[in-house]
Each structure stands twice: as structure tokens, then as C-alpha cells.
Amino acid sequence: MNKDLNVILVSYQTNQNHKRPTAMLIDKHEADNILKRIPGLTIKMSPELATIDQVLDNDELFCMIRDDLAQRYPKTLTAGRKSTPVEVILRMLTIKHLYDLSYERTVLQVADSLVLRQFCRVYFEAVPDQSTLCRWANLIQPQTLQTFNQRIMNLAIDSKLTHGRKLRMDGTVVETTIHYPTDSRLLDDSVRVLGRTLTRAKMLLGAGTSLSKAMFRNRQRSARKVARKIAKLSSRSQEQLKICYQRLVQTTRATVRQAKQVLAELENRAADEGHRLIEVLQTFLPRAQQVLSQTVRRVFSDEKVPSAEKLVSIFEPHTDIICRGKPNKPTEYGHKVWLGEVEGGFIAQYEVLDGNPNDESQWQSTLEKHVQLFGQPPRQASADRGVHSAKNEAFAAKLGVKRVVLPKPGRKSETRRQHERQRWFWRGRRFHAGVEGRISVIKRKYGLDCCRNRGQDGFERWIGWGVIANNLTMLGKGLSP
């Protein structure tokens, strides 16, 4: 009798344990060293990768990422199906940006390599698919990556790989993934997105809607036909261009009117089932109206629309128009990024700028951030001619910078020429030239020539991971035997 009772109690406790909610977010897989027991098999990482592997074991770095991933759902930390471990996500994202891979390629590389399985702490568990990795990656906030990079810099300082004695700063443009913006293409994009949403709304609402069939008409083919015709016309055929633009504007306005009525119908009749369609219409309707407005102003009113009022992409509306006067690329579409590099090849700080501000305005804030990170001003600070001003030189001198390398543009007095001919100034100029090489490396090696993420946060996340990948590589090279 007692044996039967014990069996019943054990069974009951087991069932209760199964019902007890478990945390969705897990930290890591249990270490699996089975490969070490296979004779003749050795898993050897490159010295740099082995050093980066040790750096990523840092608890502070781990907790930063874990805190962001814990925000996925309200009960991520208390209940739910077990997730991909935080450690695996962090290390797979590191591999992705170290080798400039896509999400799909990252998954394939990790799954196919015993070395990368060991590095990513996947062992013989299933590798998360690309959509899972992408969803988790989008939870990491840009500010977290800023803090992550600062922690890496602290590790570099503690390892005496850099002392922050020399600082060189420069700006570059990282473009967004958009097609070349023309009024006709933007109008065509607007009609295409709104048109396909109307088609989906028609399927959702069905026969119960009070709207006529004309309200769901997709005008995508009409818009595409006119847009292609405009692309083939030369700028000399102004009359024909205006006629075509008039037709395209009318088509876009008709689509916008339809979308407004369908949006109201969705909100009244299918607010729950059609919440995604409602969100799409609420997002793209204002953008389509802005494209219409700027097209009418530019084409029909012959008005020069200021760049701050222009929309160059309905998919990436945060994109700035940046004119830097480069012969091969007079106009760039993306964001200006300001970088501060110290000796050792480390990018100590980065910032995604709003619009196209003057380089001169970045000097003081960059020096102040340097002092916050290193606890002292640099012995030497340098930048390009566009940063020079008497105010900036005085600020650096007051802060304690001994060698301020800011060449003056334009005509110079004899005193200024003698100042810039000093040996330390020329050496500083030669050292500063290296920042162009660093920018070239992060663009070619870490994908900072063009952002492949979406949205403003995605852009800043892309820049952050690119800088982190560079600094981890420098840390790996400096600490590896």
C-alpha cells in the first residue's frame, strides 16, 4: 500500500513540475565536450577568433544583450517555450558582422563548421534559422551597442592596447538601401504599396463590405506604365514630361482616395483581423501624400524643394540627402556618421548625425566624450580643414590638448604658415591620414558602405555592429599570441 502511495505522489509531483511555467529566455546551452573524446580530431580556432571568444565571455557584455532580449514579451523572463540561448545569439551576430554575412549565410556557415559551432556555443544543438536570428537581433537597441562598444574600449585600455593619447576624427556617409530617388519612381512605389494593400483588404472584407468594387481597384499597372515612359523621355521634352506626370499624379491621387475609404472601413469592420493592413495604410498614406506634394511643387510649380522637406524613399523615410561635392558622387543618400579613432586602430566613439551638419560643430563634443572615456584629454587631436576654427583650437588648448592639428583652409598669414610647417604638425597630419584607411576598412570589410537594415534604429544598429566588429578584430590581434 505504501509503495502504491509513493508511486502516486511521485507521479503527481512530476505532473506539477511539468505544469510549472519555465522561463522563455535561457542563457546558454549546456557545454558539450564530446568532440574532445574523438581521437585525432582537433578543433583549432585562429588566434584572433580564440581571443574574441574569450572577450565575449565577459559577464557585462553578456548582460547588456540579455537585458534587451528580455523585452521581447511581457513574460519572457518568467514563462514560455525555451528560446535560442542569449549566448548563441550574441556570438552568431558577432560572426555575422565580423565576416559581413547575411543572416542566411551566417546560419549556413555556423551549421557547417565545427569551429564556429564551438565559438557560437551551439555544440550539437540545432542552429537557429535566419528569421529567428533576425527577430532577436532587432530587439537589441542602438544605445546598448554604444555601451557595448564602450565596454570593449575599456577592455582595450585595461589590456594596454591603447591609451587614448592620439585622437583623429572624420566623417563619412553610409548609404541606405534605396533606389535612386525620382518623382516618378516614388509615385510608382506609392501606388504599388497602396494598391496591393487594397487587394488584400478586399479579400479580408469579402462581400460584406458596403464599398463598391471600384474602391479596391489596383492601379499599379497604370502607374508603372507611365513611370517607365517618363524614364525614357529626355529632359528636353518638358511638355511631354508634364503630361505624363499629370497622368501619374492623377493615378496616385485616386489610389490615395481609395486607400482612405478602405482604411475607414477596416477600422469599423475588421479592426482586429486587419490590424496589419491598417498599420500599413496608416504608415504609407502620409508618405504618399508627401510625395504628391513635392512632385507638384517641383514639376508643375517649378519650385526648388529644400532637402529637409524632401522624401527620397517611402520605405526608408529617415534617409538624408547629403551633398559633399565629391566628383564621382556629388549627392549621397543615407546618413553622415562621425568617427573618433585612437591609436591601435580602435574606433573609440561613433555617432549617426541628423542631416548634414558642418564638421566644425563635431570637434568639441568628440573631445568631451574622449575625456569621459579615457579620463584625460588626448596629447594630440587632429581633423580635416573643414573642422578648423579659432574657437575649436582654443577649446582644445583649454581642455589640455598639447598638439592641435587643424590645418587652416584658404589664405594663411606668414605666422600661420610657419606654425603649420613645424615638424610635430606635419607628423600629426601624416598620422591623421590613416583615418581614411580605417574608414575604407570598415566599409569594405564590415559592410559600412551601405546599410542593409531597415528603419532609423536598424541603421544605427548596423553602424554599431560594424564598429564593434572592427574593435573586436583589433582586440583579437592585439591580445593574440
pLDDT for position 43: 76
345, 377 contact by CB (below 8 A): no
Prediction pTM value: 0.90
SS3 347: strand
pLDDT at 10: 41
pLDDT of residue 467: 97
Quote the Cα angle for 402-407-411, to 5°: 135
Q: Measured in Å, how far apart are the chain's first and last C-alpha atoms?
A: 68
Contacts of 175 (CB under 8 A, 6+ apart): 332, 333, 334, 449, 450, 451
Parts of the chain with a pLDDT under 50: 1-3, 5-20
pLDDT at position 233 is 87
Per DSSP, helices labelled H in 169-327 are: 183-205, 220-232, 238-269, 275-295
Nearest to 138 by CA among 474, 467, 454: 454
Helix (H, G, I), strand (E, B) or coil at 171: strand
| CA distance readout (Å), 437 to 194, 307, 322 | 44, 30, 22
Region label for 121, one of left (φ > 0), alpha (ψ between -120 and 50) or beta (otherwise): left
Rounded CA-CA distance 241/237 in Å is 6
φ/ψ of 350, rounded to 5, equals -150, 155
Model pLDDT, residue 206: 83
Alpha-carbon distance 107 to 445, whole Å?
A: 19
**pLDDT reported for residue 35:** 67
C-alpha to C-alpha distance for 50 and 143, rounded to whole angstroms = 27
pLDDT score of 239? 87
Q: Cβ(298)–Cβ(305) under 8 Å?
A: yes
328-353: burial string, b at 16+ Cβ within 10 Å, e else? eeeebbbbbbbbbbbbbbbbbbbbbb
pLDDT of residue 7: 43
Give pLDDT, residue 142. 97
Phi, psi (5° rounding) for residue 170? -165, 165
Burial class of 297 by CB neighbour count within 10 A (0 to 12, 13 to 18, 19+)? middle
Cell numbers 491621387 correspond to what residue? 253
Among 323, 403, 395, 325, CA closest to 361? 395
Measure the CA–CA gap between 401 and 393, rounded to whole angstroms.
9
Q: Cα–Cα distance between 474 and 440 in angstroms, integer? A: 15
Confidence (pLDDT) at 40: 67
For residue 405, the cross-strand partners are 382
Q: Distance of alpha carbon 97 from its chain centroid, rounded?
A: 11
442 Cα distance to chain centroid: 14
Burial of 198 (C-beta count, 10 Å sphere; 0-12/13-18/19+): buried
Cβ neighbours of 169 (radius 10 Å)? 23
